[in-house]
């Protein structure tokens, strides 16, 4: 111990994992003159720009171009045969990832934070040993330490699945070919986004979901509409499916045996993508050596200030059990930044929006009808089909609907869900109104520019029933 202690390089702040919030914290603190080190094993800017949000949205955009081009004749535009060049799709994505990596290297250099590339592991309280990627090791100490190591794809314990060497989002976003028949296990965020993208790249796609609906966290009408949308593109969807076993090898031939309420069936394909949720990167990083406790799901246990059970150790992002979105990890950064400076910011009560980047997208902020029922909150609800939004007469983007929830006894907007063109953009205006606690009639009666999708908010809010007389 004496020997190790004498070799420790001490920093004001030591951050394990260059995740979305961690890197921002490092740059902020280093610019403020503190001595900061970040330990990162693989991706200079964390997973989002390297293998998650940006690469997926980049390829999804290519897939949309393919889709629109295939349907060009519907809009009076003649094209020849449409072919997708997956090598070029990948190269375009790769160029963006390289630019992002270069940006992050530059941001570290200009901030003054030291980026140490290697695998980090706690060897004592506030002390991390790093096996450097270039060889050798360093032992680092931090007066305060932040853990931002993220999660990785779960591979369900299904016989034969691991041996089939399935794709996760990382491999699927790096393919130079469209699989002949892609089987997607999991009908949540990654599964639905990737299923639609690969269908549009020309693959046959079968999506297997164990639950009764796609996008299980949403209301039934939302899941049902998403099902209609993906089935309209001839994606086969098997719901209520218990995966019994997998045979074969992804990339060659795959057989998935599932049990559904109507009996056992076998889905045969060429490749399998697993999109069945996430596992926190908390195993084998010595958290017990540092007194950092985990919760029952293996995530780092934090309080609402994002402090762990160990003094002067914080956690940020997915590993802290925060909702799994980049903007939440970024907000965790702001909370830790302010609390480190003596503030009292909490993760409680924050309004978290999200957008699923299907076409059309799905976006939500605040309560769903299911949430309202579960929490016993009395609400008024209105929905508007996208076919009633005038802009869709021009664009033919008629799938989906908007739904709004307001208080039964007051005019506060409590929740908004939309499946429809530009859903993520329309969401921001509702979120702004919610933050400002704007009574909904103000937004209903606002003059919104014609011919936008957001113009639909007027008719949507006009459909709300009057408050019940007392
Ligand atoms: C396919 C996909 C698409 C997504 N799309 C979106 C989207 O459109 N919008 C959105 O908001 N969210 C999206 N997400 C979620 C989003 O990517 C994450 O919520 C976000 O990256 C937050 O991550 P984080 O800050 O917790 O950690 P991450 O960004 O995952 O960073 C953790 C870092 O820690 C490093 N690390 C782990 N262990 C060690 C160790 N022992 N030593 C050193 N380094 C280590 C990892 O290499 C990694 O770089 C998507 C996720 C996936 C998988
Ligand atoms: N646009 C975005 O913001 C975006 C995009 C992608 C991912 N993400 C984030 O990444 C997280 C992880 O995404 P994900 O899709 O892996 O998880 P998820 O939780 O969204 O969906 C996983 C789905 O897999 C199903 N499942 C689990 N085991 C199964 C099995 N054995 N057979 C069949 N189905 C099974 C679950 O019922 C669930 O519906 C999301 O929760 C989201 O927060 C966000």
Residues with catalytic annotation? 450
Digit-coded pLDDT (tens) for 252-292:
999 999 999 999 999 999 999 999 999 999 999 999 999 99
Ligand 1 pocket test, pick from 325, 362, 364, 424 with the greatest ligand atom count within 8 Å of Cβ, gives 325
Residue 3 has a pLDDT of 47
Ordered mean pLDDT values, 10 residues apiece, the chain (470 residues) = 67 98 98 98 98 98 98 97 97 98 98 98 98 98 98 98 98 98 98 98 98 98 98 98 98 98 97 98 97 98 98 98 98 98 96 98 98 98 98 98 98 98 98 98 98 98 89
Rounded to an integer, what is the distance from CA 133 to the centroid of its chain?
Answer: 28
CB atoms within 10 A of CB 270: 20
The DSSP letter of residue 452 is: -
Contacts of 122 (CB under 8 A, 6+ apart): 128, 129, 285, 286, 287, 289, 290, 292
Q: Which residue has the tokens 């994505």?
A: 93
Residue 470 has a pLDDT of 65
The answer to the question of whether 189 is labelled as a binding residue is yes
Q: Model-level pTM? A: 0.97
Is 113 in contact with 22 (CB distance < 8 Å)? no
241 token code pair: 């499916």
Digit-coded pLDDT (tens) for 69-106:
999 999 999 999 999 999 999 999 999 999 999 999 99
Ligand 2 pocket test, pick from 160, 189, 330 with the greatest ligand atom count within 8 Å of Cβ, gives 189
Digit-coded pLDDT (tens) for 389-448:
999 999 999 999 999 999 999 999 999 999 999 999 999 999 999 999 999 999 999 999
The answer, yes or no, to whether any atom of ligand 1 lies below 6 A from the CB of 20, is yes
Residue 1 has a pLDDT of 45
172 token code pair: 């699927």
What is the whole-number distance in angstroms between the Cα of residue 329 and the centre of ligand 1? 9
- The domains of the chain, with CATH numbers, are 2-153+279-349 (3.50.50.60), 162-276 (3.50.50.60), 360-462 (3.30.390.30)
């Amino acid at each position: 111990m004496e020997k190790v202690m004498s070799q420790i390089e001490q920093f004001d702040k030591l951050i394990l994992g260059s995740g979305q919030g961690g890197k921002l914290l490092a740059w902020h603190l280093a610019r403020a003159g503190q001595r900061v080190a970040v330990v990162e094993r693989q991706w200079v800017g964390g997973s989002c720009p390297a293998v998650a949000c940006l690469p997926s949205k980049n390829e999804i955009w290519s897939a949309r171009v393919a889709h629109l081009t295939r349907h060009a004749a519907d809009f009076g535009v003649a094209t020849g045969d449409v072919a997708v060049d997956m090598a070029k799709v990948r190269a375009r994505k790769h160029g963006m990832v390289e630019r992002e990596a270069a940006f992050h290297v530059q941001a570290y250099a200009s901030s003054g934070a030291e980026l140490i590339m290697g695998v980090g592991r706690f060897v004592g309280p506030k002390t991390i040993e790093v096996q450097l990627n270039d060889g050798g090791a360093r032992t680092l100490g931090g007066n305060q330490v932040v853990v931002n190591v993220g999660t990785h794809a779960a591979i369900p314990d299904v016989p034969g699945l691991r041996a089939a060497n399935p794709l996760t989002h990382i491999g699927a976003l790096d393919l130079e070919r469209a699989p002949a028949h892609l089987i997607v296990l999991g009908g949540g965020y990654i599964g639905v986004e990737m299923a639609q993208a690969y269908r549009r790249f020309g693959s046959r796609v079968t999506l297997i979901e164990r639950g009764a609906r796609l996008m299980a966290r949403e209301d039934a009408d939302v899941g049902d509409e998403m099902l209609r949308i993906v089935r309209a593109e001839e994606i086969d969807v098997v719901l209520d499916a218990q995966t019994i076993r997998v045979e074969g090898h992804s990339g060659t031939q795959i057989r998935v045996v599932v049990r559904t309420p109507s009996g056992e069936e076998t889905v045969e394909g060429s490749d399998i993508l697993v999109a069945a949720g996430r596992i926190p990167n908390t195993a084998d990083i010595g958290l017990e050596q540092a007194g950092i406790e985990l919760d029952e799901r293996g995530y780092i246990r934090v309080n609402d200030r994002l402090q762990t059970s160990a003094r002067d150790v914080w956690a940020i992002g997915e590993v802290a059990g925060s909702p799994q979105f980049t903007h939440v990890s970024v907000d965790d950064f702001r909370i830790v930044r302010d609390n480190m400076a003596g503030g009292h910011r909490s993760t409680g009560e924050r309004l978290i929006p999200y957008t699923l980047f299907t076409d059309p997208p799905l976006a939500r902020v605040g309560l769903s009808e299911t949430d309202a029922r579960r929490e016993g909150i009395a609400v008024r609800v209105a929905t508007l089909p996208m076919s009633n939004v005038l802009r869709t007469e021009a664009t033919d983007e008629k799938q989906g609907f908007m739904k709004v929830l307001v208080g039964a006894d007051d005019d506060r907007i409590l929740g908004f869900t939309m499946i429809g063109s530009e859903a993520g953009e329309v969401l921001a205006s509702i979120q702004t109104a919610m933050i400002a606690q704007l009574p909904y009639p103000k937004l209903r009666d606002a003059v919104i520019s014609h011919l936008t999708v957001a113009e639909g908010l007027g008719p949507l809010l006009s459909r709300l029933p009057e408050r019940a007389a007392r």
